[in-house]
């Protein structure tokens, strides 16, 4: 699922959908680390879940960054073509919102890494 840049509502909806994985991160690691009565390779399971999570996070960040870059170029074009200040201001507000989403991604990644280390740290060499 790619992050759409043209409509801020759709942009936010898609991000919410893509972030569901992060919301369930504790559940995913608990599921991967079944009770001791099951014979599983905990390190491999942890690495698998972590790899999937990292891949989704990277997809979101690159999608957001693409939108930030695209909108930044649009604003420059608008300024060069003499668009109204109101129109430029609206686009700049949208750009700022998208940039804040990059900060949110940093926080989500930090939280997920913390859970990963808490749940899987002892199983990693």
The structure tokens 């997920």 sit at 112
pLDDT at 32 over 80: no
With contact defined as beta carbons under 8 Å apart, do 4 and 18 qualify?
Answer: no
Burial class (CB in 10 A: 0-12, 13-18, 19+), 57: buried
The answer on pLDDT for 69 being more than 50 is yes
31 CB burial (10 A radius; 0-12, 13-18, 19+): exposed
DSSP summary character for residue 6: S
With contact defined as beta carbons under 8 Å apart, do 24 and 110 qualify? no
Q: What's the pTM value of the predicted model, to 2 decimals?
A: 0.83
Q: Give tens-digit pLDDT for 38-67.
A: 556 777 888 888 898 899 899 999 999 999
Average pLDDT, the chain: 87
Cα separation values, 51 from 1, 37, 55, 58, Å: 18, 25, 6, 10
Instruction: Look at residue 20 in the predicted model and tell me its pLDDT.
Output: 87
Q: Which residue has the higher pLDDT, 39 or 120?
A: 120
């Amino acid at each position: 699922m790619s992050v759409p840049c043209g409509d801020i509502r759709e942009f936010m909806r898609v991000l919410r959908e893509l972030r569901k994985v992060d919301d369930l991160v504790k559940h995913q690691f608990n599921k991967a680390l079944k009770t001791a009565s099951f014979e599983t390779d905990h390190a491999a399971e942890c690495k698998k879940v972590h790899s999937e999570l990292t891949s989704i996070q990277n997809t979101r960040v690159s999608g957001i960054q693409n939108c930030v870059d695209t909108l930044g170029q649009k604003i420059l074009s608008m300024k060069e073509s003499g668009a109204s200040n109101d129109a430029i201001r609206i686009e700049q507000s949208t750009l700022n919102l998208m940039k804040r989403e990059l900060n949110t991604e940093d926080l989500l990644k930090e939280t997920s890494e913390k859970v990963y280390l808490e749940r899987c740290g002892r199983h990693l060499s």
